[in-house]
Amino acid sequence: MTRFLLERPRTLVSLSFFAERYESAKSSISEDLTILKRTFQERGTGLLETLPGAAGGARFIPYILKEDASEYIDYLCKEVSDSHRVMPGGYVYLSDLLGKPEVLRQIGRLIATQYMNQTIDMVLTVSVKGIPIAQAVAEQLNVPFVIARQDGAITDGATVSVNYVSGSSTAIEKMQISKRALPAGSRVLIVDDFVKGGGTISGLASLVRELDCEVAGITVFGEGRFNGERQSENFTSLLHVETLQSESEPIRATPGNYMHRVFGNER
């Protein structure tokens, strides 16, 4: 039952279904759900919403507790603040970190917690490095994710495209998405790995609006320093990363605005 609920976040599973599956009385299933609810709460796994009555059931909503969130963000800061990650041009090598299932699962939980009380129909990102984050968040929210592309993928059929100014290079670029990817009226969560000037996430937000959808929120893994005015929308960042401030401290990652936005002022 634990496994079944964990694998289907935000889905209501009826008492009758469990009763049939485990050949048990609804009353004992109901008792077991109460124990599970308490355990999930004690362990900070998430919320098990139980709906009473004959048509009732249970729905698992994953979240992360404030202390665990703060601790995990501190861990990420420590991991990112490694001088070996600094690449030419002040870029940061994150591919190893964002290729670890356990790290992605925790990032997914962090971001899903922010939107746990909202309706999200889709997660949207742009290829390549945003994809693992989008997939991790989509898993926790149990909704599909969609990938916009900077190159033209000929297998996507009819597309919608927007031009955007890449903030870090001030060049004009183009990104596109398959027309059939986002049904009109969807509430879309935008995620990406890293924001500098903010042009990319602005472009993603334009794509969402072009397809008559709504931007439900924007959250990124890392936010870099940017000299100049950000063109971008309002967004949440897990980390704030500054590179090449000095020879002795080539990279410094600190918590982004996530804790403040999700859990309020005090840490």
Shortest separation between residue 101's beta carbon and its own copies, angstroms: 4
**Distance from C-alpha of 62 to C-alpha of 10, rounded to nearest angstrom:** 8
CA distance 126 to 53: 44
Q: How near is the Cβ of 116 to its own copies at its closest, in Å?
A: 16
Q: Strand 145-148 relative to strand 46-51: parallel, antiparallel, unpaired?
A: unpaired
103 vs 98: CA distance, rounded Å: 7
- Distance between CA 213 and CA 186 in Å, rounded? 5
End-to-end CA distance of the chain: 35
Residue 77 touching its own copies (CB under 8 A): no
By CB under 8 A, which span of 67-75, 87-95, 227-235, 250-258 interacts with its own copies?
87-95
Q: Across 196-250, where does the E strand assignment appear?
A: 214-224, 236-243
Among 18, 145, 235, 258, binds its own copies (CB under 8 A): 145
Residue 72 in the binding site for its own copies (CB under 8 A): no
Among the candidate windows 12-20, 25-33, 124-132, 232-240, which touches its own copies by CB under 8 A?
124-132
Question: Per CB under 8 A, which region of 83-91, 224-232, 240-248, 258-266 contacts its own copies?
Answer: 83-91
Name the minimum Å distance from CB 142 to its own copies: 6
Max CA pair span of the chain:
67
- Closer Cβ to its own copies, 6 or 172, answer by number: 6
Q: At closest approach, how far in Å is the CB of 54 from its own copies?
A: 26
The minimum distance between CB 208 and its own copies, in angstroms, equals: 16
Q: How far apart are CA 133 and CA 149, in angstroms?
A: 15
Question: Which residue, 147 or 208, is less far from its own copies as judged by CB?
Answer: 147
Please give the C-alpha separations between residue 70 and each of 107, 222, 262, in angstroms, as whole numbers: 12, 15, 11
* Residue among 54 and 158 whose Cβ is closer to its own copies: 158
Residue showing tokens 């746990």: 116
Q: Decide: is 81 part of the binding site for its own copies (CB under 8 A).
A: no
Q: List beta partners, residue 64.
A: none
* Residue that the structure tokens 């009826």 belong to: 14
Our CB check for its own copies shows the closer of 251 and 259 to be 251
Residue 34, SS3 per DSSP: helix
**Nearer to its own copies among residue 146 and residue 190 (C-beta):** 146
Chain residues that interact with its own copies, rule: CB under 8 A: 2-3, 6-8, 43, 45, 87-89, 91-96, 99-102, 104-105, 127-129, 131-132, 135-136, 138-139, 142-147, 149, 151, 153-157, 178, 180-181
